[in-house]
Structure 1
Amino acid sequence: MVKSRVLVVGGTGYLGRRIVRTSIAEGHPTFVLRRPEICMDIEKVQMLLSFKEQGATLVEGSFGDHQSLVDAVKKVDVVISAISGVHVRSHHILLQLQLVDAIKEAGNMKRFLPSEFGTDPARMGHALAPGRETFDDKLVVRKAIEESNIPFTYISANCFMGYFVGGLCQPGKILPSTESVCMLGDGNVKAAYVDENDIAMYIIKTIDDHRTLNKTIYIRPPENILSQREVVMAWEQLIGKELKKTSISEQDFLSIIKELEYPQQAGYGHFYHIFYEGCLNNFEIDKGEEASELYPEVVYTRVNNLVMCNS
């Protein structure tokens, strides 16, 4: 089977760089959008050059130049957007509406994967502000995609391991302590964790798969559905020591959120929904919509493996 040509937008970002490398490794003709602002960042320029050395094609394009986006899109079959969604107040996600317009005009797209990759926004209408703004913006993009009849796949990848497991599921921490840990509530609410390189692999697997067309695909590997307490226990077993535990109640956590600066409120709000409400694991996934089930050949990273790497 001829593999689709892939354009990655946001290819120098945290997840984007992994998508680019995986696309190349899986044999897809891979294109990376080179935006003008990247030329001011030497590390990103060097990354783009490394992609080129690995076989990717760099394509000039800008969100401020519609025709450049159309020209870039016409070169490929699949567009994967990995632009950052963390800029809450700037509504960065809505830049993708310009991609939607370009894809619609180009008229050749087999699949568009917008920048989602976290919690399914369709399930987060109740989310706390300001974090809800990101979910709302993603739904605006979804609406534009579907109204334009653009073939799509939405990816819900749940918790990035690098951000959550390393810090034992504590907001603001990415490395585990050998002394203490703060439990969110009773620490028994289940979440789902996925290694970032595995996310990239599952993304690339979906793009030529008819089973994922016009669907939301959840990456929720069964062995990585764990509570915070279970993540902490894995770390304790590794270091041979029990951590001193404190806990913070749901009400106290909500009170803390109100006192934080605007950007932190969004991040802490996501932690609230994940570790107090259980928003990642409180619903059933329809058969054929979970990535590790669709692609059993992918040997995904287990939480225990990552914990060992952090020792």
Structure 2
Amino acid sequence: MLNYEEDIAMYSIKVANDPRTCNRVVIYRPSKNIVSQNDLISLWEQKTGNKFIKDFVSEEEIINLSQTLPSPENIPVSILHSVFVRGYLMNFKLGKDDLEASELYPDYNYTSIDQLLDIFLLHPLPPASAAFE
């Protein structure tokens, strides 16, 4: 089973050798792998049989924090809002000349989110420190 890094490498090799991609932007954003934070947590709970304790914070609360916290404490809150609430890393339209890798190479079986979670269950990564402490 391939993993995410191998998918990126395979797509990169295909793109580098494909005349259709010359001087074009190629985005790796397979539509089946675009899931919400809640969907990802739910899938992980199903796979592990464990339930997370969740505290829901409204978008209004996050915006209020980003506007009222002093700098630099407001920066992580603003980033979390843009990534997890607004979805700015994935929620954008491709330009007319941009290409999406999984659409360009539909015959390539990329690793799904479901498969990645299975890999993490079999071969857990070592703990990492939080990005914002």
For Structure 1 versus Structure 2, the TM-score category normalised by the shorter chain is: 0.5 to 0.7
The aligned counterpart of 1:240 is 49
User: Given the alignment of the two structures, is residue 304 of structure 1 paired with residue 97 of structure 2, yes or no?
Assistant: no
TM-score (norm 1): 0.32
User: Given the alignment of the two structures, is residue 198 of structure 1 paired with residue 7 of structure 2, yes or no?
Assistant: yes
Q: State the 1:226 CA deviation.
A: 0.8
The aligned counterpart of 1:226 is 35
Contact 1:211 1:288 in 2 (8 A): no
From 20, 25, 36, give the equivalent of 1:211: 20
- Which is richer in helix? 2
The aligned counterpart of 2:105 is 295
Contact 1:288 1:294 in 2 (8 A): no
Q: Residues 308, 231 of structure 1: CA spacing in aligned structure 2 closer, same or farther, 3 A cutoff?
A: same
Where 1:214 maps in the other structure, the secondary structure is: coil
- Which is richer in strand? 1
Q: Residues 201, 228 of structure 1: CA spacing in aligned structure 2 closer, same or farther, 3 A cutoff?
A: same
Q: Residues 301, 240 of structure 1: CA spacing in aligned structure 2 closer, same or farther, 3 A cutoff?
A: same
Aligned-residue RMSD, C-alpha: 3.0
Q: State the 1:238 CA deviation.
A: 0.7
Q: State the 1:234 CA deviation.
A: 0.8
Contact 1:250 1:276 in 2 (8 A): yes
Question: Which residue type is aligned with residue 112 of structure 2?
Answer: R
Q: Which has the higher contact order (CA 8 A, sep 6+)?
A: 2
Q: Which 5+ residue runs of structure 2 have no aligned equivalent?
A: 122-133
The aligned counterpart of 2:129 is none
Q: Give the fraction of aligned pairs with identical amino acids, expressed as a percent.
A: 33
Deviation per CA, 1:76-113: give whole Å up to 9, x if none. xxxxxxxxxxxxxxxxxxxxxxxxxxxxxxxxxxxxxx
Summarize the alignment of residues 244-259 of structure 1 with structure 2, pairs less than 5 Å apart. Answer: 244-254=53-63, 255=65, 258-259=69-70
Distance in 2 of aligned mates of 1:238 and 1:215:
39
Q: State the 1:287 CA deviation.
A: 8.5
- The size of the alignment, in residue pairs, is 116
Contact 2:28 2:100 in 1 (8 A): yes
Where 2:110 maps in the other structure, the secondary structure is: coil
Q: Residues 207, 231 of structure 1: CA spacing in aligned structure 2 closer, same or farther, 3 A cutoff?
A: same
TM-score (norm 2): 0.68
Q: Which 5+ residue runs of structure 1 have no aligned equivalent?
A: 1-193
